[in-house]
Amino acid sequence: MPMESKKIGEYSGLSRREFIAGGAAAGAAFMIMKPSSVFGAEANSKIEIGVVGLGGRGAWIAGLFNQHGGYKITAVADYFQEVAEKNGQGLGVDKARCFSGLSGYKKLIDSKVDAIVLETPPYFMPDHAKAAVEAGFNVYMAKPVAVDVPGALQVEAAGKLATEKKKTFMVDYQIPTDPVNIEVAKRISEGGLGKIQQVFTVGTCGGFADPPLTENIESRLRGLIWVNDIALGCDYIGNFDIHAIDGAIWALGQRPIVASGASRIGREEPHGDARDVCSVIYEYADGIVHNHYGQGLGNNIDGELSCRLHGPKANAMINYWGKAYLRGGPKHYGGGQVENLYEVGAKRNIAAFHEDVTKVQFANITAKRAVDGVLTCILGREAAARHTRLTMEALIKENKKLEVSFKGLKS
């Protein structure tokens, strides 16, 4: 049976207007209230936000929030004091509200804001998200949302608690915001591929700097070096390839139940333990076979984040760069180019987050998909590293927590 169209709504990053217009709102649990009930008598009050993590993307995302016009950044936090103060100054934040150290996020939470933006290495995400939701904040966070099963389940619980508290909880994936990808996914949900038989996802990039280890992990917290450390970054499949895998989860409306594969470290002079070459075969409850190929080597290969889906008489492409389409069958669609998703997709999500927070909309449709996506990556990572066949049930039952040493770090 083809997937019900409701699943596209459940697993999409659509604006609420598109969500409703697509007929996917049926059964979604959200409430709309007047903005004045949240932000005081002035309905157009800006949302006060705090940003945690001001590395390259974090500082850039903070700038996009400022550009939107509906936000006011009133607090920032970063492990490095000079980074927090420099970026805080550029964003117009009082120096007294520029926090640093491992506990900087706690100080930011205590400073009181309407929403928190989390852009830290993913190891820290579950604790930060949990604390923010428990404090009553709306949450906007980067991917991946965790590095291990306990962290993923903690984020899942935080997303559910946010909905109970009538708070917005959004994870910033860009592929499901693109209009061409949305149209392809819609046609897939309408039976455009027939019974899906096979899926291919690809994640290739030039890799990330991996300098020698130092006395403690402080040096690994800069410049995406942490991507090379599984416990900090969730491995290459979890940090980079996850965009393509999220595209598959979004289109299929389900996560796999089994994975097998192989992986290795291929970069020259590695110091972290992350595996930058992997091949994984996923299996789904309905028999779909999903092949994933990932590579993060500096060999000038073209960067790719794509998801190809095949039915008996038609095939489709969902993409981060390049063209998206559905070829053949009753729902043929020539498609078009996916343009500049890295920036435009983030801007769409920032706008959607503003709409959800101001209208108190808390369906939080990205939270469950983000957890399913990271669990899928962890399943593939573990099966490939162990060179074995591993079920999702067994992985979750293991509930293995990855540990990081904070020796010598500033609290």
308 has pLDDT over 60:
yes
β strands within 34-173, DSSP E:
47-52, 71-78, 98-100, 115-118, 138-141, 169-171
pTM score, whole prediction? 0.90
Whether residues 97 and 242 fall in one domain: no
Residue 347 lies in a domain: no
Q: Are 168 and 381 in contact (CB under 8 A)?
A: no
**Residue that is last in its domain, among 171, 189, 213:** 171
**Residue that is last in its domain, among 145, 171, 197:** 171
Whether residues 205 and 327 fall in one domain: yes
The pLDDT of residue 45: 81
> How far from 300 is each of 31, 320, 407, CA to CA, in Å?
49, 18, 37
**Residue that is last in its domain, among 171, 203, 232:** 171
Whether residues 60 and 192 fall in one domain: no
Residue that wins the pLDDT comparison between 408 and 4: 408
At residue 93, φ and ψ (nearest 5 deg) are -95, 135
Whether residues 165 and 72 fall in one domain: yes
329 has pLDDT over 60:
yes
The domain that holds 34 is classified in CATH as 3.40.50.720
Q: Max CA-CA distance within the chain?
A: 62
Sheet of 98-100: strands edge to edge? 98-100, 71-78, 47-52, 115-118, 138-141, 169-171
The pLDDT of residue 44: 53
Whether residues 259 and 386 fall in one domain: yes
Q: Are 173 and 153 in contact (CB under 8 A)?
A: no
Residue 405 lies in a domain: no
Angle between helices 242-252 and 365-386 (to 10 degrees): 120
195 has pLDDT over 90:
yes
Residue 62 lies in a domain: yes
Vertex 193: Cα angle to 187 and 196 (nearest 5): 120
Whether residues 228 and 150 fall in one domain: no
Whether residues 370 and 277 fall in one domain: yes
The pLDDT of residue 339: 87
29 has pLDDT over 70:
no
- Among 162, 164, 81, 156, smallest CA distance to 116 is for 162
3 has pLDDT over 50:
no
What does the pLDDT look like over 102-124, one tens digit per residue?
Answer: 999 999 999 999 999 999 999 99
Please count the structural domains in the chain.
2
Whether residues 152 and 296 fall in one domain: no
Residue 348 lies in a domain: no
Residue 28 lies in a domain: yes
User: How far apart, in whole angstroms, are the C-alpha atoms of residue 71 and residue 65?
Assistant: 6
Residue 333's pLDDT band (cuts 50, 70, 90): very high
Residue 411 lies in a domain: no
Once rounded to an integer, what is the mean pLDDT over residues 33-43? 38
Backbone dihedral region for residue 329 (phi beyond 0: left; psi -120 to 50: alpha; all else: beta): left
147 has pLDDT over 80:
yes
Query: Radius of gyration of the chain from Cα atoms?
Result: 21
20 has pLDDT over 80:
no
7 has pLDDT over 80:
no
The pLDDT of residue 32: 31
Residue 349 lies in a domain: no
Residue 326 lies in a domain: yes
Domain containing 380: what range? 175-341+363-398
Residue that wins the pLDDT comparison between 11 and 409: 409
How does 35-59 read in b/e, with b if 16+ C-beta sit within 10 Å? beebbeeeeebbbbbbbbbbbeebb
What does the pLDDT look like over 231-268, one tens digit per residue?
Answer: 999 999 999 999 999 999 999 999 999 999 999 999 99
> How far from 385 is each of 54, 147, 230, 388, CA to CA, in Å?
32, 15, 11, 8
Average per-residue pLDDT in the chain?
90
**Residue 98, helix vs strand vs coil:** strand
Q: Are 183 and 323 in contact (CB under 8 A)?
A: no
Whether residues 249 and 377 fall in one domain: yes
Whether residues 305 and 335 fall in one domain: yes
Angle between helices 179-189 and 242-252 (to 10 degrees): 40
What does the pLDDT look like over 60-104, one tens digit per residue?
Answer: 999 999 999 999 999 999 999 999 999 999 999 999 999 999 999
Whether residues 40 and 28 fall in one domain: yes
Residue 282's pLDDT band (cuts 50, 70, 90): very high
Whether residues 204 and 91 fall in one domain: no
The domain that holds 201 is classified in CATH as 3.30.360.10
